[in-house]
Amino acid sequence: MTTQDHVVGVIGLGYVGLPLAVSLAEADLDVIGIDTNQGRLDEISSGVSPIGDVTDERLASALRERLRVAPSSPEIIGSCDVVFVCVPTPMDRAKSPDLSFVLGAAATIRSGLRPGQLVILQSTTYPGTTSGPFRQELERGGLVAGQDFDLAYAPERVNPGDPASFGARVPRIVGGVTRRAGVRAGRLLERIADSVLVLSSPDAAELAKLHENVFRNVNIALANQLALLCERMGIDVWEVIDAASTKPFGFMRFTPGPGVGGHCIPVDPYYLAWRAREFDFVDRFIETAGDVNLAMPRHVVALCSTAVNERQSSLRGARVGVLGVAFKPEVDDARNSPAAAIIALLRDQGADVTYHDPFVPRFRDADGQVHESHGLSELIETSDLLVIVTAHKAIDWSAVFASGAIVIDTVNASKGRTVQPRSVMRLGAGWGTQASLEPEPVLAGD
């Protein structure tokens, strides 16, 4: 086995693969970016980055130096010392893992796999994928992992919209099917990370990645449940969370919202719950948290109905503008966005729904209907009801809250604003806003 890994292939040039490929090229490694989408290859080759976290300038510099892109072929795969796999891992309609992209990448690698290579899976998946179906697909060509080639799992730890999450200061974890594979992968990752932890197995690394995201999903669900309770009790959940957040230990701030989105948080809990059932372990705790978050879009629509009913109207025939459809602020990624369900449910209630998002020009709702982003001024002028789903900084919020329309604020974007009575309804708080940012401190002895 060679440990002189100089030529690295990266399969999948999306939000994980392209930043990885650029980082490896910047570490003076020869990198080949591989993708099945010829349009994406052409775009990258021209120096235009399809990923917001990689600037055109940074991409162009990498292309001038160490990075090239190409469609897959046995010759391309065979020319690499190491091959990373960075492809999607969605779930199907029954909330079971969909490994079609992962297994397709394994078949691609198998076509050119040769002795001495290192294969590293990065896609988020359930424990047992790397050493199970992924390995089996690779070994169908006759070479054996741990004997003829090395195999490891090293999960991505990116935070879309946060370029620092791609930097060297974020620790990396890795687990190999053999100790040698783990150490070899760890040495390579040390080229782009200040700290690398080699775990005992791919299974441990896969579960660590799921634990990171399930932790977030569970705590978001707790915040959402608290918000629902606060609505019934007439308490402002945002005030409660702000107060709890002043504790400097034993508490981590999570906030409620219209639901969860993106590539990991809505998916990973079900990956783990599905895998747990294979061991006769029913993890209702994790599944319940996931279900709480998936139910939030329906609650948002219920708030919309409550708000318009107070003005002796209904959602049927109402003109509703949705503000933000990306799954989080400052990104153009709308995968699994709660806006998809919210828009579809509003349309089911008979509302005429349009949206504005400065980052997402076209959007498909949960019913498959495609929508085009409208200008903010047009949306405000033509809407009876505005629903804030994603609070992008680029949106003129002063204009939104001065519009005269009812505003359903699901993320407390109205904090600190003084508005007309009963014009803003906040998730977890009811009518009104947190007009005072912070209470006055009480001095000792007062």
Give mean pLDDT, residues 128-155.
96
Give the tens place of pLDDT for each residue, 241-255: 999 999 999 999 999
Structure-model confidence comparison of residues 252 and 445, the more confident one: 252
Query: In the predicted model, is pLDDT for residue 437 greater than 50?
Result: no
Query: In the predicted model, is pLDDT for residue 442 greater than 80?
Result: no
Lowest mean pLDDT among 13-22, 123-132, 258-267: 258-267
CATH architecture of the domain formed by 226-431: 3-Layer(aba) Sandwich (3.40)
Give the tens place of pLDDT for each residue, 294-304: 999 999 999 99
Query: Are 7-200 and 226-431 the same fold in CATH?
Result: yes
The whole-number pLDDT of residue 283 equals: 76
The whole-number pLDDT of residue 365 equals: 95
Give the tens place of pLDDT for each residue, 164-201: 777 788 999 999 999 999 999 999 999 999 999 999 99
The percentage of the chain sitting over the pLDDT mark of 70, rounded to a whole number, equals: 97
Domain range 7-200, CATH class: alpha beta
Q: In the chain, what are the domain boundaries?
A: 7-200, 226-431
- Closest C-alpha to 120, from 141, 102, 99: 102
Which residue in the block uniquely carries the two structure tokens 């999450």? 165
User: Encoding tokens for residue 315?
Assistant: 């959602």
Handedness of CA 47, 50, 55, 61 (dihedral sign): negative
Cα separation, 109 vs 118, whole angstroms: 11
Give mean pLDDT, residues 91-100.
86
Which amino acid is present at 173?
Answer: I
- Binning pLDDT at 50, 70 and 90, where does residue 445 land? low
Give the tens place of pLDDT for each residue, 328-380: 999 988 999 999 999 999 999 999 999 999 999 999 999 999 999 999 999 99
From 80, 230, 264, 304, the catalytic residue: 264
Question: For the whole model, what pTM was predicted?
Answer: 0.89
- Is 86 considered catalytic here? no
Give the tens place of pLDDT for each residue, 47-81: 999 988 899 999 999 999 999 999 999 999 999 99
Triad 353, 430, 394: Cα angle to 5°: 50
